[in-house]
Structure 1
Amino acid sequence: MSGTGMSALLRIAFRPTVKRKTRHTLAARALRLAALRIALVCACAGGVSYFINHSALEQSVRSQLSLSTEQALQRESLPFREVKDLEKNFLAEFDRIYAIPEARQSLARNFDDIFYRHEDGSYTQRPGLFEGEPLPDGRRFPGMSATYAPDVTPDADVKTRFALSYLLSYQFGSAAKGRLFNFYGVVPEKGFPIYQAADIAKVFKYEGPDALKLETFEFFSRGFGGPQNETFFTRIYWDPSNNAWMTTIATADAPDASGKHRIMACVDVLLDDLMKRTANPTLPGARATIFAADNQGTLIFDGKYTDAITASAGEASISSLEIADYQPLLKASQAIGAGSVSLIESTSEITAVGRIPDTPWVLAVHYPKSLMRPAILTNLGIVVAVGLLTLFVELFILRSILQKQVAEPLVRLIHATQLVGRSGVTVANDALPTHSDDEIGELARDFASMAARVHTAHEALEGKIRDRTSELERLNQKLLTISQTDEMTGVANRRRFDEVLASELAGLGQGQDLLMLAMVDADWFKGYNDRYGHPAGDACLKEIARVLERNTRSKQDVVARYGGEEFAIIARIASASNAPVIGQALCSAMATVKLAHEGSPFGHVTLSVGIALAAPDQNISPEALLLEADRALYRAKQAGRNQAVVAEPSADMQIQQIGA
């Protein structure tokens, strides 16, 4: 209480006594005012807390929703990016071989060795090839089947292209086995060889009500129906044989001067895994939708409209179903780039919308605002409870202080003043509240002590907030590390590899060193898995990763798991002569481990290494450098494995081999 307030109390105390009908004590009035004041403070604090918590929680949800959606976009784009790259590599290899006259003549002869003509004029692969029986020259093509319609009798050029498509479809399809459902190259004369688990020669016929009419398939009509040669996705369709939704990803070659295509690469993609992941977003309580980035917003997946999608055979769209809540999402999807995320807010939910890179699809993650209410109400309840507790405690303390240190001294003072002026009556000194100033001072010190405690509690709270913020930053950094690390082997993953390769090539011109890209593949690894089992295969991959990491020469070198049993190393080297030494060192280091492999002619696990180099003055894309390294790896395997091959970055692609 201030000095002015105390003076007023003393003036009231020494004023002549006036009789009143009703009398309210000072303590009672002070308690009522204190109760009213504290109640107002609690109400205001509760309101402020509600809006602050609501704003902070909504901002946190928006941040988490945006971050988790961006991560989902990048994660979901990886398999489609692999398919597109594989198809483009297929077409590039097709063009390279097709341009060699001697190769075309040999392929035309291979046609008669591989394919068998039926009475109706159609062709399929010869009996036994799909099951793995060898050709007379010893080549095997297990899992490869083919069909060619009887509409056009194949001439030498068609035979060449069909045979080349068969050989490359096997090469690329078997290389992607376990990651892709199938792989096939289609010729416009209605024929296609395909690498998959089912033999199409036993399924497709050219007569009867179920006759194959390839021209009615969307991938065929779109791929060969115009001059375009960009990768496209077909509409999703239901495949009864796999009991799953699928889409076909196709890339046609560049047409000739007459507008005619020679070949088209295709992959059928099962969408089950994508739909399962979409149904369970990272953010608890959220749900997700995938739709095409077209004018109609064709639905690919949505848990609320599964029946409509099924009933319409995949034709249902945001426009056809007249989903008003999705119209802002469709509009926003047409204005954002691949991999970017836009947040759309409605009265009931916050939705993150983003284009999945390398696809024509949009991912929308819906987060209901109702999920935030429990947390907000909990925080509000805590504030109200603390306020009420504070109210009761302060009223008790205030009543005690007013009664003992203010009210009682004032009563004694009033009684003493009534005796003043009476004759024969003296006022004893001990009847006066002589220590009133000290008591008021003690009250002030009590409030100061209370303020100090509040300040201490505030500082402790801020300390906790700093600790929580630091922990969140640590967890975010850990999440970033996990997103760039292969979970099984502990080395960098494919995403980190792509980032480093692009960065290294972009900065290559700033120094004198060469950039080395080594593609490393475990020899006969499928046989290893078949013989020892997948757990042993996983352990083998971990050991290979450790060997590669031990034999990298610099902390700046990056060892990454490229996919399956294939690894990649990115390193700066001073001279091209170092590349063979490094490649040989990797092979020798793996051989030294002596990891038993009875399915290998060497008796232990060995490595094949393909190396490509990029010079500072060489303008080369990541895809081109990968292709050079992959070709070098292919030659290393062709030469007997357990060795390294360096691709010279020259026009004739001379190869330097290093024996095991």
Structure 2
Amino acid sequence: MDLRHSLAGRTLRLAVLRISMVVVCASVVSYVLNRSLIEEAVRAQLLLSTEKTIQRESLPFREIRELQQNFLAEFRAIDRDPLQRQALVRSFDDIFYRHDDGSYTQRPGLFEGQPLADGRRFANMSATYAPDIAPSDDVKARFVLSYLLSHKYGSTTQGRLFNFYGVVPEKGFPIYQAADIAKVFHYRGPEALKLETYEFYSRGFASGQSETFLTRMYFDSSNNAWMTTMGTPDTVEAGGQHRILACVDILLDDLMERLARPSIEGAYSTLFLADTEGTLMFHPQQMEAIQQSEGKASIESLHLGMYRPLLHTGGQLEPGKVVLVDTPDEIVAVGRIPETPTILTIHYPRALMQPAILQNLAVVATLGLVTLLVEVFLLRSILQNQVTRPLQRLMRATREVGATAELGKYDLPVQSGDEIGELSRDFTRMSERIYEAHERLESTVQQRTLALEEANQKLAALSMTDSLTGLANRRHFDEALHAEWQHATRSGSYVILAMLDVDWFKKYNDHYGHQGGDKCLRRVAHSIQAHAHRAGDVVARYGGEEFVLIITNTPPEEAQALVQSMCQAVRALQLPHPLSPFGIVTVSIGMAATIPRPNDQPSDLLQQADAALYQAKAAGRNQVVQAG
């Protein structure tokens, strides 16, 4: 055995190495090096913590922006549908009430959760509409649509967002929040509402831009809190006008509280807008001035000249980026919060590093002494750690090998160059061969098991699927209807069923043959399936040329529109049918909706849908009839 790899030689080398390290460390550590290392660590920590902070603070703004974009997209889709707009106009008088001064608010009781005549509830939804502009049908449709969508988005984000509201340029807005604005805003006297004086209104409708913006912070007396408004206007029309503005008020108390406590001890934060004046939103020494100025205080107005370079640097940054700026007394991290026009700065005073530098010098001074004391026990511990314990682990591994099918983690000294290391490597190679044999056996068993599971899954799918159309079969439909019926009975929700029949299909089959008829049924099935995209909707082949559709999570009015679109989609296929009065393949649809009661049965709803289908056929086919 080479002396260089013996235990005695290793022990001597380790002893010399440790003593040499103490001598080297004691000679090179100095005040300048300590200061450089500590400052580097502080800069890295400051940069990292600021990046995490701006990413964390951007999350609610990003969520709000995405919600507002979804709100506007849904608003545009419905606003362009003439049928839905007519329904919205009819709902105006159901939802809103005209006061003596000509203004409109929601009807009494709606905010508290009382239902409309059709059963709809809009708890926590209030609204106000300016009295100097009489509502046209267009305004009514947009105002009602804003009311419905504000309730939808506000209720789904309750607990995360303070409120949600859509503003129409005719000086009105419905809003989802805990406070009823109908009891706060008035149109007479010195406190009359002048919506055009609000920054979110003027900025949202003043230009043809559709970019998301953030207002200056302001104190909202109705909620007794400091906040800012985040708004996104829709794309302007050809005449240069907006039709809607999506807004969310953001409470700033939690943001200010978080900024008041940076993750680095001793540092402090500031937050200001990236505008020409640097409008302040948070400064630990200037909060009184900010509040007294109603959010208009800025770097310029408060003569904070040392912040001008920070404002200039922040204005040049991309959102999410952070840079460090050095001043004689501080290291400042400057970053842009994504999704907002705000600049966050975290200031770390250089004086805070001095105690750490002195502490490191004291550590270096004692390092040599501690190292020499440790060396007294080194020779004793090395024999124990390098000989006795490795041999014990090797003995334990010998007893355990082969006891399990997994390769054991024995923590053996396989990298060692001495005798124990060579023995450990031989043992490891032997255990690996045993493990490989186990692995081959396990792999064969897994492959056979997976093949059996795959065959079972294919068999289950075939038993629930119609082989011709690929839709759910009658068995699948019966099970789905039963499950949905039980769910609706417990929750008090609607179960909606539509039965569809291909018009004059026997004549089509006689004319084109069974293969042509099968092809026709597949085309119709695919067209229906393409419209049943909600989670829980089930489209099944009921038998022959009949199909059936279970519609879930949808009010009857929307279900009627969905079924009508299916009827139109089949017509749009333009499948030739010479023996049909229409010249193309069409369908007749009967639809029925009910809220199940304890004694009702699913067969009752099937009979209603079948009767409605019969009425559709009797009325000339190619249409949808809903059971009365």
Q: In 2, distance between residues paired with 1:122 and 1:362? A: 41
**Is residue 298–residue 316 contact of structure 1 (8 Å, CA) maintained in 2?**
yes
Counterpart position of 1:265: 246
Counterpart position of 2:554: 638
Residues 280 and 633 of structure 1: CA distance in aligned 2, closer, same or farther (over 3 Å)? farther
Q: In 2, distance between residues paired with 1:384 and 1:46? A: 10
Q: Per-residue CA shift, 1:374-407, capped at 9, x if unaligned?
A: 11111223445668x79xxxxxxxxxxxxxxxxx
Q: Per-residue CA shift, 1:151-184, capped at 9, x if unaligned?
A: 1111111111111111111111111111111111
Counterpart position of 2:119: 138
Residues 273 and 45 of structure 1: CA distance in aligned 2, closer, same or farther (over 3 Å)? same
Q: In 2, distance between residues paired with 1:379 and 1:342? A: 28
Residues 285 and 637 of structure 1: CA distance in aligned 2, closer, same or farther (over 3 Å)? farther
Counterpart position of 1:530: none
Residues 600 and 277 of structure 1: CA distance in aligned 2, closer, same or farther (over 3 Å)? farther
Residues 386 and 263 of structure 1: CA distance in aligned 2, closer, same or farther (over 3 Å)? closer
Q: In 2, distance between residues paired with 1:131 and 1:222? A: 32
Residues 213 and 633 of structure 1: CA distance in aligned 2, closer, same or farther (over 3 Å)? farther
Counterpart position of 2:304: 323
The residue matched to 1:372 in structure 2 has which SS? helix
Q: In 1, distance between residues paired with 2:49 and 2:533? A: 34
Q: How does 1:585-600 map to 2 (within 5 A)?
A: none
TM-score by length of 2: 0.57
Counterpart position of 2:39: 58
Unaligned runs of 5+ in 2: 1-21, 383-452, 454-468, 492-530, 538-550, 557-565, 571-601, 603-628
TM-score by length of 1: 0.54
The equivalent position to 1:155 in structure 2, one of 131, 136, 144, is: 136
The residue matched to 1:220 in structure 2 has which SS? helix
Q: In 2, distance between residues paired with 1:352 and 1:579? A: 60
The one-letter code sitting in structure 1 at the alignment partner of 2:113 is G
Residues 631 and 341 of structure 1: CA distance in aligned 2, closer, same or farther (over 3 Å)? farther
Counterpart position of 1:496: none
The one-letter code sitting in structure 2 at the alignment partner of 1:637 is N
Residues 330 and 110 of structure 1: CA distance in aligned 2, closer, same or farther (over 3 Å)? same
In the alignment, structure 1 residue 305 sits paired with structure 2 residue 286: yes
In the alignment, structure 1 residue 99 sits paired with structure 2 residue 15: no
Q: How does 1:603-642 map to 2 (within 5 A)?
A: 636-638=552-554
The equivalent position to 1:129 in structure 2, one of 110, 118, 142, is: 110
Counterpart position of 2:198: 217
Q: CA deviation at 1:275?
A: 0.8
Q: How does 1:498-537 map to 2 (within 5 A)?
A: none
Residues 374 and 228 of structure 1: CA distance in aligned 2, closer, same or farther (over 3 Å)? same
**Is residue 350–residue 366 contact of structure 1 (8 Å, CA) maintained in 2?**
yes
Q: CA deviation at 1:210?
A: 0.3
Q: CA deviation at 1:138?
A: 1.1
Number of residues paired by the alignment?
A: 393
Q: How does 1:240-639 map to 2 (within 5 A)?
A: 240-384=221-365, 602=490, 636-638=552-554
In the alignment, structure 1 residue 113 sits paired with structure 2 residue 94: yes
Residues 285 and 170 of structure 1: CA distance in aligned 2, closer, same or farther (over 3 Å)? same
Counterpart position of 1:195: 176
Counterpart position of 1:238: 219
Q: CA deviation at 1:333?
A: 0.3
The equivalent position to 2:187 in structure 1, one of 190, 193, 206, is: 206
The equivalent position to 1:73 in structure 2, one of 54, 59, 63, is: 54
Q: CA deviation at 1:255?
A: 1.1
The one-letter code sitting in structure 2 at the alignment partner of 1:352 is A
The residue matched to 1:303 in structure 2 has which SS? coil
Q: CA deviation at 1:319?
A: 1.9
The residue matched to 1:165 in structure 2 has which SS? helix
Q: In 1, distance between residues paired with 2:218 and 2:161? A: 17
Residues 182 and 631 of structure 1: CA distance in aligned 2, closer, same or farther (over 3 Å)? farther
Residues 631 and 70 of structure 1: CA distance in aligned 2, closer, same or farther (over 3 Å)? farther
**Is residue 245–residue 270 contact of structure 1 (8 Å, CA) maintained in 2?**
yes
Residues 106 and 341 of structure 1: CA distance in aligned 2, closer, same or farther (over 3 Å)? same
The residue matched to 2:192 in structure 1 has which SS? coil
Counterpart position of 1:229: 210
**Is residue 299–residue 309 contact of structure 1 (8 Å, CA) maintained in 2?**
yes
Q: In 2, distance between residues paired with 1:380 and 1:578? A: 78
Residues 106 and 362 of structure 1: CA distance in aligned 2, closer, same or farther (over 3 Å)? same
Q: Per-residue CA shift, 1:177-221, capped at 9, x if unaligned?
A: 111111111111111111111111111110000000111111111
**Is residue 29–residue 364 contact of structure 2 (8 Å, CA) maintained in 1?**
no
Q: CA deviation at 1:325?
A: 2.5
Q: In 1, distance between residues paired with 2:258 and 2:337? A: 14
Q: Per-residue CA shift, 1:3-54, capped at 9, x if unaligned?
A: xxxxxxxxxxxxxxxxxxxxxxxxxxxxxxxxxxxxxx99x96885211111
**Is residue 66–residue 352 contact of structure 1 (8 Å, CA) maintained in 2?**
yes
Counterpart position of 2:149: 168
**Is residue 46–residue 380 contact of structure 1 (8 Å, CA) maintained in 2?**
no
**Is residue 348–residue 369 contact of structure 1 (8 Å, CA) maintained in 2?**
yes
**Is residue 46–residue 383 contact of structure 1 (8 Å, CA) maintained in 2?**
no
The residue matched to 2:286 in structure 1 has which SS? helix
Q: In 2, distance between residues paired with 1:372 and 1:181? A: 41
The one-letter code sitting in structure 1 at the alignment partner of 2:74 is E
The residue matched to 2:316 in structure 1 has which SS? coil
Identity %: 57
Which protein has the larger Cα radius of gyration, Structure 1 or Structure 2? Answer: 1
Q: Per-residue CA shift, 1:494-552, capped at 9, x if unaligned?
A: xxxxxxxxxxxxxxxxxxxxxxxxxxxxxxxxxxxxxxxxxxxxxxxxxxxxxxxxxxx
**Is residue 46–residue 384 contact of structure 1 (8 Å, CA) maintained in 2?**
no
Q: Per-residue CA shift, 1:71-91, capped at 9, x if unaligned?
A: 111110011111111111111
**Is residue 298–residue 317 contact of structure 1 (8 Å, CA) maintained in 2?**
yes
Residues 93 and 323 of structure 1: CA distance in aligned 2, closer, same or farther (over 3 Å)? same
The residue matched to 1:66 in structure 2 has which SS? helix
Residues 46 and 333 of structure 1: CA distance in aligned 2, closer, same or farther (over 3 Å)? farther
**Is residue 179–residue 222 contact of structure 2 (8 Å, CA) maintained in 1?**
no
Q: In 1, distance between residues paired with 2:324 and 2:487? A: 54
Unaligned runs of 5+ in 1: 1-40, 391-449, 461-552, 554-576, 592-597, 604-627, 641-649, 655-659
Q: In 2, distance between residues paired with 1:311 and 1:362? A: 22
